[in-house]
Structure 1
């Protein structure tokens, strides 16, 4: 399972799973990298699509200064007179002289833009909120927009708890069986929707939203997977771009399993940065005082959980095995501010209690205290599998995992095996590994963080170089994504671009915040 997700700060274990993250993707899982092949650019709407473009949005108050509405789009853009689906939106009206609307997407795929929109006051600066209506939306198949649902809470518990570092033929068979069951469940319960949840369709929805909002050009902030959504939009509608900020960028030209491997290495880099920071704190739970020694202690912890699950005091019957422990470790690596929480959780885990790690894994998967899940896990897999041509032979994932663990020993297995449901997916992929150029678009700002665990900096470099008008903005920092993470350098550059259309100097590297 690959992990791409938006910025969010994990709550302390005492706050529990009720304080959910704003968005995510499942499993050690997946962003998608491909656009539909053999599809012409959709710069101008056809007459059959005009009713969607000219629709009036009926906004209603939905509390705390927000307004909510719903837009109508075709299920299948090649047959616009057929079935229609709804896209849910939320907006926070501009507080000052309005320039237009700013669409935002938190990542995933599968992250809720409605929840992210609710956080607009903390996600965007007051300066930006003064001049733009901030508009969040759930992409098709996600949250409140025709959500894909495949499995019950207990079934998702079982799936998330599959041994993602199979050591025996029996464990490999169990992983294959569980992954196929996931794919089969989605095929049985969401067959009509599955072919139409790809990123190219979501990008076409965004253009409908742009027009319905009354904007001649799209202004957009996309994080993590949201950078891919924004890049696909720009490639389809280059002349409709006003300003796009793609933060925590994904490189669309990297093949799926290579992407998994690169991401696993990114988590190893983030883990080492966490350990180096940990040694400077008196509460660091490692007996060793070197990164290498601490990495060995973590390896021993994972082996222990693999052989004998850690203690779970939540009373829900789940066994905290190696997979749950890895998810619990990965979650706070996204936020430097959450590293103290990870130190505490690991201290308890070394003493045999994995409850705090399980709570953080629940936050990542958006699992509620009652055992139910949001649909981000199913949406994540469905979008990934239709966006990208994953291998159909299970042996390819085994071989990929064997190579990945050589350079990412703690995360290689989990990231690689997590994509296995795509081998059994009931819908053929519509994507291909290819560069996105968005020829003819105005400057597009691509932001990368040097030690980003989920979207390595090299991906930002790759996307910025592919886009004909890409402008790379770097941040020497930790955690996933950069805007709103405490760097006044990044924040000012992004704000100036969104408001005044003045991009930063190509290759600007903002200094580390101390």
Structure 2
């Protein structure tokens, strides 16, 4: 499930950014600047984030007191015309805590989406990467179309409030017609407000930006840490520039072999599995589960809640109400991490009492809405990048034909994810391919981590990615755990394996398992 109800996997960062935003960056449009690879970056202190990045405060100093630094990379708007107009790619970095021969180079992060601001996310999670900062400059960026990097603009805040209040699981022809009309209106707004940008924000464009960044940073190799959609971006980079791949880690791995429909169906199964695990965990607690007497009872009560909200929403965050769609999104968002299961329990318990505020807060997080009612551009960017990449254009008829399979995969999330497939209908530009090419023969080993309980990027995707990268390139590591991603789970085995590879070059044994 993506940052918005579209068929694409996303990182956990949406929840984290709403609850602990700490960010910065800069970027703008410009004319041609000649050889962009010869530019020098002007690193300065980081400002407070822009509205497109999600607002908030400038990033706090690092644990040792060092300040974050921000800069703008100039990149061609159209990589087929490298000497033409340029755009600004917003960057952020934390310098390595050790210098001299101890420093390896830069470690570039992408935290997922597509549509997530790396400039906002890296400071929010910096504590988790302090070990890696001993030998790397930690670097992240807002990919083109995101945050401060030529951001895609679609609808305004009021329009987005209405958009996310609509029924996204239409039950009859009238509701379906309205939903499809609203989707077309959203996509038309993207074309109207960002038409110049839409054909230049494919993942292949972002991968070329990354290689330009590598050159301008002065690194011979691209050392990389990709999470969720960031694994797809990393795979595309490895395909385009295999000889430039250094030490790379893919965590919460997107299956690069799936079509959009297969990916959405896989997410339905993944979120259902996470819900099953949540329900079992809740009823196993010594002090009991306040939202059900058995695992099945938990799920039955959730289903009853959602059915009731379809016809009669309850108060959410004033003046908005908690609708069936908002509740579904809030439940899904809480399943991204086991750490948020307690908030799901709290939200369900309150909703059963007629208060939808906690589930709506979680839903707002997924949609990039802050407590002031302002939206980041994460939804707009997610849709635009997805539709630029994905060739498929599903219709209402396609969804109706596939609904039985989606409902079998997940009674709770099936309709929601099935109808999300129409997100690129009538999009302004054609999609690039059915799925990305990540074959990377000749690249250095890439550590590919699959999490058996991952709802958004199901475990099987890691094996598919490792195979698609090529023999001797993809090295699979399994984490037997819950949530979206493994490194930030706190599992010592995973962290030691990743740190050993990135810091010392120790490649784990293929097929290793952490539990």
- State if a TM-score over 0.5 links the two structures: yes
Q: 2:391 aligns with which of 389, 392, 396?
A: 389
Q: 1:365 aligns with which of 342, 364, 367?
A: 367
CA distance in 1, matches of 2:169, 2:182: 14
- Which residue in 1 is equivalent to 2:505? 501
Deviations 1:319-353 (A, max 9, x none): 21110000110111111111111111100111121
Q: 2:196 aligns with which of 192, 205, 216?
A: 192
Does 2:106 correspond to 1:122? no
CA distance in 2, matches of 1:307, 1:392: 27
Judging changes above 3 Å, is the alpha-carbon distance between structure 1 residues 391 and 428 closer, same or farther for their aligned structure 2 residues? same
What's the secondary structure of 2:481's corresponding residue?
strand
- Which residue in 2 is equivalent to 1:318? 320
Judging changes above 3 Å, is the alpha-carbon distance between structure 1 residues 21 and 161 closer, same or farther for their aligned structure 2 residues? farther
Judging changes above 3 Å, is the alpha-carbon distance between structure 1 residues 170 and 160 closer, same or farther for their aligned structure 2 residues? same
Counterparts of 1:85-100 in structure 2, within 5 Å, are: 85-96=87-98, 97-100=102-105
Deviations 1:222-264 (A, max 9, x none): 1000000000000000000001111000111101011101111
- Which residue in 2 is equivalent to 1:34? none
What's the secondary structure of 1:221's corresponding residue?
strand
Does 2:251 correspond to 1:247? yes
- How far residue 401 of structure 1 moved from its aligned partner, in angstroms, is 3.0
- Which residue in 2 is equivalent to 1:131? 135
What's the secondary structure of 1:418's corresponding residue?
helix
- Which residue in 1 is equivalent to 2:205? 201
- How far residue 270 of structure 1 moved from its aligned partner, in angstroms, is 0.3
- Which residue in 1 is equivalent to 2:353? 351
CA distance in 2, matches of 1:287, 1:228: 38
- How far residue 419 of structure 1 moved from its aligned partner, in angstroms, is 3.0
Does 2:36 correspond to 1:52? yes
Does 2:482 correspond to 1:478? yes
In the alignment of these two chains, the number of paired residues is: 479
CA distance in 1, matches of 2:409, 2:461: 18
- How far residue 127 of structure 1 moved from its aligned partner, in angstroms, is 2.5
Unaligned runs of 5+ in 2: 24-31, 47-58, 62-66
Counterparts of 1:73-88 in structure 2, within 5 Å, are: 73-88=75-90
Q: 1:436 aligns with which of 432, 435, 438?
A: 438
Judging changes above 3 Å, is the alpha-carbon distance between structure 1 residues 205 and 218 closer, same or farther for their aligned structure 2 residues? same
**Normalising by the residue count of structure 1, what TM-score does the alignment of the two structures yield?**
0.90
What's the secondary structure of 2:284's corresponding residue?
coil
CA distance in 1, matches of 2:156, 2:171: 28
- How far residue 61 of structure 1 moved from its aligned partner, in angstroms, is 2.4
Counterparts of 1:163-178 in structure 2, within 5 Å, are: 163-178=167-182
Q: Higher mean Cα deviation, 67-76 or 493-502?
A: 493-502
Q: 2:111 aligns with which of 103, 106, 110?
A: 106
Q: Which protein has greater RCO, CA pairs closer than 8 Å, 6+ apart?
A: 1
Deviations 1:138-176 (A, max 9, x none): 000000101001101111122222212211111101110
- How far residue 10 of structure 1 moved from its aligned partner, in angstroms, is 4.8
CA distance in 1, matches of 2:488, 2:434: 33
Judging changes above 3 Å, is the alpha-carbon distance between structure 1 residues 323 and 356 closer, same or farther for their aligned structure 2 residues? same
CA distance in 2, matches of 1:336, 1:311: 27
Contact in 2 for aligned 1:283/1:343 (Cα 8 Å) = no
CA distance in 1, matches of 2:427, 2:478: 37
CA distance in 1, matches of 2:288, 2:70: 45
CA distance in 1, matches of 2:8, 2:293: 29
What's the secondary structure of 2:205's corresponding residue?
helix
- How far residue 407 of structure 1 moved from its aligned partner, in angstroms, is 1.7
- Which residue in 2 is equivalent to 1:461? 463
CA distance in 2, matches of 1:506, 1:356: 42
What's the secondary structure of 2:428's corresponding residue?
coil
CA distance in 2, matches of 1:10, 1:183: 25
Contact in 2 for aligned 1:21/1:364 (Cα 8 Å) = no
- Which residue in 2 is equivalent to 1:40? none
CA distance in 1, matches of 2:72, 2:166: 38
Contact in 1 for aligned 2:236/2:436 (Cα 8 Å) = no
Does 2:491 correspond to 1:487? yes
- Which residue in 2 is equivalent to 1:411? 413
- Which residue in 2 is equivalent to 1:227? 231
CA distance in 2, matches of 1:348, 1:383: 36
- Which residue in 2 is equivalent to 1:270? 274
**Normalising by the residue count of structure 2, what TM-score does the alignment of the two structures yield?**
0.89
- How far residue 6 of structure 1 moved from its aligned partner, in angstroms, is 2.4
Judging changes above 3 Å, is the alpha-carbon distance between structure 1 residues 287 and 100 closer, same or farther for their aligned structure 2 residues? closer
Q: Deviation above 4 Å: which 4+ runs of structure 1?
A: 8-11
- How far residue 307 of structure 1 moved from its aligned partner, in angstroms, is 1.3
Question: CA RMSD of the aligned region, Å?
Answer: 2.0
